[in-house]
């Protein structure tokens, strides 16, 4: 059974952002203790698709557990330099609670959003937009040329969000997923499409 640990970051901690704090969000490094939350988050994202199978819940749970373990192993293996953050809602004192995950690889010149996802009750409230806008500002601040991500070709809602934030489809579609790229402007912060 594959279960990879979360990498331990030496002396680096997730960035603090006034913009994210103003939205009631905080990032923290994912840890092994977050495994149950992240597994439940993964299952919630897959729930609609899994319901189409018509399988008994016990079989669906086993399948989702296996898929999550395999996905996690893939992410920590192939994106070893990525920041694996749990997104916490921190808009009320003492009410920090995990609501999502944001995996961002800043180890290469073109940053990559490896994964972003929220619990059902935390979706559609601007949290994803806030995280992506923060990442865009951080990329500009350090001179990164841009950010890319992959989105399911069938996920038109997410594609629309990414387009509103200046991401444009790249020419290198990969099967069931579309690669989208946001290019940091020449210091002016404007998004420009790149191939």
For residue 128, give the H/E element and its range.
Answer: helix 127-142
Return the pLDDT at 37.
Answer: 95
Return the pLDDT at 4.
Answer: 56
Is the CB of residue 154 less than 8 Å from the CB of residue 134? Answer: no
User: Could you give the domains of the chain?
Assistant: 18-183 (3.40.630.30)
| Maximum pairwise Cα distance, the chain | 54
Return the pLDDT at 140.
Answer: 94
Which residues 6+ apart lie within 8 Å of 37 measured at CB? 86, 98
* pTM, to two decimals: 0.85
Mean pLDDT by 10-residue block, N- to C-terminus, for the chain (195 residues)? 55 71 90 93 85 81 90 92 92 78 95 95 92 94 95 90 94 81 68 38
Return the pLDDT at 194.
Answer: 36
d(CA 125, CA 182): 22
d(CA 156, CA 159): 5
Is the CB of residue 180 less than 8 Å from the CB of residue 159? Answer: yes
d(CA 158, CA 131): 14
Return the pLDDT at 148.
Answer: 96
Q: 36-60 burial, b for 16+ CB within 10 Å, e for fewer?
A: ebbbebbbbbeeeebeeeeeeeeeb
Q: Is 98 helix (H, G, I), strand (E, B) or coil?
A: strand
Return the pLDDT at 93.
Answer: 63
């Amino acid at each position: 059974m594959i279960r990879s640990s979360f990498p331990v970051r030496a002396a680096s901690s997730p960035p603090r952002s006034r913009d994210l704090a103003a939205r009631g969000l905080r990032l923290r490094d994912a840890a092994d203790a977050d495994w149950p939350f992240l597994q439940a988050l993964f299952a919630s994202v897959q729930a609609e698709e899994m319901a189409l199978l018509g399988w008994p819940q016990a079989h669906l749970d086993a399948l989702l557990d296996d898929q999550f373990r395999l996905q996690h192993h893939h992410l920590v293996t192939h994106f070893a330099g990525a920041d694996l953050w749990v997104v916490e809602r921190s808009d009320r004192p003492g009410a920090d609670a995990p609501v999502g995950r944001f995996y961002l690889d800043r180890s290469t010149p073109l940053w990559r959003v490896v994964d972003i996802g929220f619990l059902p009750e935390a979706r559609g409230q601007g949290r994803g937009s806030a995280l992506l806008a923060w990442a865009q500002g951080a990329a500009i601040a350090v001179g990164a040329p841009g950010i890319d991500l992959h989105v399911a070709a069938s996920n038109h809602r997410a594609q629309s969000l990414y387009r509103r934030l200046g991401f444009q489809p790249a020419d290198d579609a990969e099967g069931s997923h579309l690669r989208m790229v946001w290019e940091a402007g020449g210091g002016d912060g404007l998004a420009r499409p790149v191939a």
